[in-house]
A = this chain, B = another copy of it.
Amino acid sequence: MNVNDSVTKTKFDNLYMCRESIIDSLKRSTDVMFGGKQVVLCGYGEVGKGCCQSLKGLGCVIYITEIDPICALQACMDGFSVVKLNEVIRTVDIVVTATGNKNVVTREHMDKMKNGCVVCNMGHSNTEIDVNSLRTPDLTWEKVRSQVDHVIWPDGKRIVLLAEGRLVNLSCSSLPSFVVSITACTQALALIELFNAPSGRYKSDVYLLPKKMDEYVASLHLPTFDAHLTELSDEQAKYMGLNKAGPFKPSYYR
Protein backbone atom coordinates (compact mmCIF):
# COMPACT_ATOMS: atom_id res chain seq x y z
CA MET A 1 0.00 0.00 0.00
CA ASN A 2 1.66 3.19 -1.23
CA VAL A 3 0.80 5.47 1.67
CA ASN A 4 3.48 7.93 0.67
CA ASP A 5 1.43 9.15 -2.29
CA SER A 6 -1.93 9.34 -0.56
CA VAL A 7 -3.48 12.78 -0.49
CA THR A 8 -3.32 13.17 3.26
CA LYS A 9 0.41 12.43 3.09
CA THR A 10 1.53 14.45 0.04
CA LYS A 11 -0.75 17.41 0.52
CA PHE A 12 -0.39 17.68 4.29
CA ASP A 13 2.81 16.15 5.61
CA ASN A 14 4.93 17.34 2.70
CA LEU A 15 3.36 20.75 2.25
CA TYR A 16 2.22 21.98 5.63
CA MET A 17 4.89 20.35 7.74
CA CYS A 18 7.72 21.57 5.55
CA ARG A 19 6.21 25.05 5.50
CA GLU A 20 6.94 25.22 9.20
CA SER A 21 9.98 23.01 9.57
CA ILE A 22 12.17 24.78 7.01
CA ILE A 23 11.87 27.94 9.11
CA ASP A 24 12.32 26.12 12.35
CA SER A 25 15.34 24.13 11.16
CA LEU A 26 17.19 27.16 9.87
CA LYS A 27 16.41 29.26 12.95
CA ARG A 28 17.46 26.66 15.49
CA SER A 29 20.65 25.75 13.71
CA THR A 30 21.85 29.12 12.38
CA ASP A 31 19.76 31.91 13.97
CA VAL A 32 19.55 33.40 10.48
CA MET A 33 17.26 36.37 9.81
CA PHE A 34 14.95 35.68 6.85
CA GLY A 35 13.88 39.22 5.90
CA GLY A 36 15.59 40.23 2.65
CA LYS A 37 17.54 37.00 2.26
CA GLN A 38 17.99 35.48 -1.20
CA VAL A 39 17.02 31.81 -1.25
CA VAL A 40 17.18 29.27 -4.02
CA LEU A 41 14.85 26.28 -3.69
CA CYS A 42 15.84 23.32 -5.86
CA GLY A 43 12.56 21.59 -6.65
CA TYR A 44 9.00 22.97 -6.57
CA GLY A 45 7.04 19.85 -5.64
CA GLU A 46 4.97 19.73 -2.45
CA VAL A 47 8.00 20.19 -0.21
CA GLY A 48 9.33 23.08 -2.26
CA LYS A 49 5.91 24.72 -2.38
CA GLY A 50 5.59 24.45 1.39
CA CYS A 51 9.03 25.92 2.00
CA CYS A 52 8.41 28.81 -0.39
CA GLN A 53 5.13 29.74 1.22
CA SER A 54 6.65 30.44 4.60
CA LEU A 55 9.90 31.91 3.30
CA LYS A 56 7.94 34.32 1.09
CA GLY A 57 5.81 35.26 4.08
CA LEU A 58 8.95 36.18 6.01
CA GLY A 59 10.33 38.43 3.28
CA CYS A 60 12.79 36.25 1.38
CA VAL A 61 13.56 36.77 -2.31
CA ILE A 62 13.08 33.32 -3.81
CA TYR A 63 14.46 31.55 -6.88
CA ILE A 64 13.34 28.11 -8.07
CA THR A 65 15.09 25.43 -10.09
CA GLU A 66 12.93 22.74 -11.71
CA ILE A 67 13.19 19.97 -14.30
CA ASP A 68 9.42 19.50 -14.65
CA PRO A 69 7.75 22.18 -16.82
CA ILE A 70 4.44 21.89 -14.95
CA CYS A 71 5.97 22.62 -11.57
CA ALA A 72 8.12 25.33 -13.19
CA LEU A 73 5.02 27.01 -14.57
CA GLN A 74 3.39 26.84 -11.15
CA ALA A 75 6.44 28.54 -9.66
CA CYS A 76 6.14 31.33 -12.22
CA MET A 77 2.44 31.86 -11.54
CA ASP A 78 3.19 31.91 -7.80
CA GLY A 79 5.62 34.80 -8.32
CA PHE A 80 9.00 33.08 -8.23
CA SER A 81 11.81 33.33 -10.79
CA VAL A 82 12.66 29.98 -12.36
CA VAL A 83 16.39 29.79 -13.03
CA LYS A 84 19.24 27.36 -13.48
CA LEU A 85 21.25 26.99 -10.32
CA ASN A 86 24.35 28.48 -11.90
CA GLU A 87 22.55 31.75 -12.64
CA VAL A 88 22.11 32.60 -8.95
CA ILE A 89 24.62 30.46 -7.07
CA ARG A 90 27.12 33.31 -6.59
CA THR A 91 24.63 35.63 -4.90
CA VAL A 92 22.18 33.58 -2.84
CA ASP A 93 22.31 33.44 0.96
CA ILE A 94 20.53 30.10 1.43
CA VAL A 95 20.34 26.97 -0.76
CA VAL A 96 17.63 24.39 -0.04
CA THR A 97 17.24 21.12 -1.94
CA ALA A 98 13.86 19.40 -2.32
CA THR A 99 14.09 17.35 -5.50
CA GLY A 100 14.37 13.70 -4.45
CA ASN A 101 17.31 13.46 -6.82
CA LYS A 102 21.08 13.14 -6.34
CA ASN A 103 23.96 15.57 -6.75
CA VAL A 104 21.71 18.54 -7.25
CA VAL A 105 24.22 20.73 -5.43
CA THR A 106 27.73 19.80 -6.57
CA ARG A 107 31.20 20.77 -5.48
CA GLU A 108 31.34 23.06 -8.49
CA HIS A 109 28.30 24.92 -7.19
CA MET A 110 29.72 25.15 -3.70
CA ASP A 111 33.00 26.50 -5.03
CA LYS A 112 31.00 29.45 -6.39
CA MET A 113 28.88 30.19 -3.32
CA LYS A 114 29.59 33.34 -1.40
CA ASN A 115 30.98 33.44 2.11
CA GLY A 116 28.43 32.46 4.72
CA CYS A 117 26.02 30.74 2.35
CA VAL A 118 23.82 28.19 4.19
CA VAL A 119 23.23 24.84 2.46
CA CYS A 120 20.64 22.30 3.55
CA ASN A 121 18.49 19.44 2.31
CA MET A 122 14.70 19.15 2.76
CA GLY A 123 14.30 16.47 0.09
CA HIS A 124 15.06 12.85 0.72
CA SER A 125 17.88 10.74 1.97
CA ASN A 126 21.29 12.40 1.93
CA THR A 127 22.04 12.38 -1.77
CA GLU A 128 20.93 15.80 -2.93
CA ILE A 129 24.00 17.70 -1.79
CA ASP A 130 27.25 16.07 -2.89
CA VAL A 131 28.75 16.19 0.59
CA ASN A 132 31.46 13.67 -0.25
CA SER A 133 32.97 16.14 -2.68
CA LEU A 134 33.66 18.41 0.30
CA ARG A 135 35.82 15.84 2.07
CA THR A 136 39.02 16.82 0.30
CA PRO A 137 42.32 17.91 1.81
CA ASP A 138 42.02 21.51 0.64
CA LEU A 139 38.86 22.11 2.69
CA THR A 140 38.66 22.34 6.48
CA TRP A 141 35.60 21.26 8.40
CA GLU A 142 34.73 23.00 11.65
CA LYS A 143 31.79 21.79 13.73
CA VAL A 144 30.36 24.96 15.27
CA ARG A 145 27.32 23.41 16.84
CA SER A 146 25.49 20.09 16.76
CA GLN A 147 24.35 19.50 13.14
CA VAL A 148 26.15 22.61 11.91
CA ASP A 149 29.48 22.44 10.07
CA HIS A 150 31.48 25.26 8.60
CA VAL A 151 33.33 24.08 5.53
CA ILE A 152 36.25 26.41 4.98
CA TRP A 153 37.91 27.10 1.63
CA PRO A 154 41.62 27.94 1.38
CA ASP A 155 40.77 31.65 0.89
CA GLY A 156 38.82 31.67 4.14
CA LYS A 157 35.35 31.41 2.58
CA ARG A 158 32.97 29.45 4.76
CA ILE A 159 29.78 27.71 3.79
CA VAL A 160 27.40 26.55 6.49
CA LEU A 161 26.40 22.93 5.92
CA LEU A 162 23.48 21.62 7.96
CA ALA A 163 23.12 18.01 9.14
CA GLU A 164 25.89 16.94 6.75
CA GLY A 165 23.32 16.98 3.95
CA ARG A 166 20.80 14.72 5.66
CA LEU A 167 17.18 15.81 6.02
CA VAL A 168 17.43 19.07 7.90
CA ASN A 169 13.91 19.02 9.30
CA LEU A 170 14.47 15.62 10.88
CA SER A 171 17.87 16.67 12.19
CA CYS A 172 17.44 20.27 13.27
CA SER A 173 13.78 20.87 14.15
CA SER A 174 10.94 19.21 15.93
CA LEU A 175 7.98 17.94 13.90
CA PRO A 176 4.44 19.12 14.67
CA SER A 177 2.69 16.16 16.25
CA PHE A 178 -0.49 17.04 14.40
CA VAL A 179 0.91 16.41 10.94
CA VAL A 180 2.68 13.30 12.17
CA SER A 181 -0.69 12.16 13.47
CA ILE A 182 -2.21 12.54 10.00
CA THR A 183 0.56 10.48 8.42
CA ALA A 184 0.57 7.82 11.14
CA CYS A 185 -3.21 7.56 10.97
CA THR A 186 -2.99 6.99 7.22
CA GLN A 187 -0.45 4.23 7.71
CA ALA A 188 -2.49 2.55 10.43
CA LEU A 189 -5.65 2.58 8.32
CA ALA A 190 -3.73 1.12 5.39
CA LEU A 191 -2.58 -1.78 7.55
CA ILE A 192 -6.10 -2.36 8.87
CA GLU A 193 -7.47 -2.34 5.33
CA LEU A 194 -4.87 -4.86 4.19
CA PHE A 195 -5.63 -7.08 7.21
CA ASN A 196 -9.39 -6.92 6.77
CA ALA A 197 -9.59 -7.04 2.99
CA PRO A 198 -11.20 -10.17 1.56
CA SER A 199 -8.63 -12.30 -0.19
CA GLY A 200 -8.37 -11.25 -3.79
CA ARG A 201 -9.02 -7.53 -3.30
CA TYR A 202 -5.29 -6.82 -3.34
CA LYS A 203 -2.84 -8.75 -5.49
CA SER A 204 0.95 -8.56 -5.20
CA ASP A 205 1.10 -4.97 -6.36
CA VAL A 206 1.36 -1.45 -5.01
CA TYR A 207 -1.94 0.31 -4.33
CA LEU A 208 -2.93 3.84 -3.44
CA LEU A 209 -5.06 4.21 -0.35
CA PRO A 210 -8.78 4.24 -1.26
CA LYS A 211 -10.10 7.79 -1.41
CA LYS A 212 -12.67 7.10 1.24
CA MET A 213 -9.98 6.27 3.79
CA ASP A 214 -8.08 9.40 2.96
CA GLU A 215 -11.25 11.33 3.65
CA TYR A 216 -11.76 9.44 6.89
CA VAL A 217 -8.27 10.37 8.08
CA ALA A 218 -9.01 14.01 7.35
CA SER A 219 -12.38 13.93 9.10
CA LEU A 220 -10.75 12.55 12.25
CA HIS A 221 -8.52 15.62 12.42
CA LEU A 222 -11.13 18.33 11.82
CA PRO A 223 -12.36 18.65 15.43
CA THR A 224 -8.93 20.00 16.39
CA PHE A 225 -9.82 23.15 14.50
CA ASP A 226 -13.47 23.18 15.50
CA ALA A 227 -14.27 22.92 11.80
CA HIS A 228 -17.91 22.26 10.86
CA LEU A 229 -18.49 20.15 7.75
CA THR A 230 -21.50 20.78 5.57
CA GLU A 231 -23.64 17.74 4.69
CA LEU A 232 -25.13 17.09 1.29
CA SER A 233 -28.90 17.10 1.05
CA ASP A 234 -30.46 14.09 -0.67
CA GLU A 235 -31.19 16.27 -3.66
CA GLN A 236 -27.62 17.53 -3.86
CA ALA A 237 -26.09 14.08 -3.50
CA LYS A 238 -28.29 12.85 -6.33
CA TYR A 239 -27.38 15.84 -8.50
CA MET A 240 -23.68 15.16 -8.00
CA GLY A 241 -24.02 11.38 -8.22
CA LEU A 242 -22.37 11.04 -4.80
CA ASN A 243 -22.96 8.95 -1.74
CA LYS A 244 -23.67 11.33 1.15
CA ALA A 245 -20.91 9.65 3.18
CA GLY A 246 -18.31 10.06 0.45
CA PRO A 247 -16.01 9.52 -1.31
CA PHE A 248 -16.56 13.04 -2.59
CA LYS A 249 -13.97 13.13 -5.33
CA PRO A 250 -12.68 10.76 -8.03
CA SER A 251 -9.65 8.78 -6.98
CA TYR A 252 -7.28 10.80 -9.18
CA TYR A 253 -8.34 14.08 -7.58
CA ARG A 254 -5.80 15.74 -5.36
Contacts and interface: CB of A to CB of B under 8 A. Distances in A.
B33 A178 contact: yes
A83 B218 contact: no
Given A70-B214, A73-B227, A79-B61, A28 B31 contact: no
Interface string A119-151: 000000001000000000000000000000000
A133 B254 CA distance: 34
Contacts of A156: none
Interface in A220-235: 221-222, 224-233, 235
Interface string A17-32: 0011001100110011
A253 B67 CA distance: 15
B177 A33 contact: yes
A35 interface: yes
A57 B235 CA distance: 36
A160 interface: no
Given A5-B252, A33-B20, A36-B224, A60 B79 contact: yes
A76 B239 contact: no
A35 B79 contact: yes
Report the copy number of this chain in the oligomer.
Answer: 4
A244 to B, nearest CB: 9
A85 interface: yes
A27 B172 CA distance: 12
Given A229-B82, A249-B68, A36 B76 contact: yes
A139 to B, nearest CB: 23
A225 to B, nearest CB: 4
A252 B27 CA distance: 35
B228 A33 contact: no
Contact of A33 (B69, B72, B179): B179
A224 B82 CA distance: 12
Given A82-B229, A103-B236, A240-B100, A68 B215 contact: yes
Contacts of A248: 67-68, 70
A171 interface: no
A228 B83 contact: yes
Contacts of A87: 228
Contacts of A61: 79-81
B176 A229 contact: no
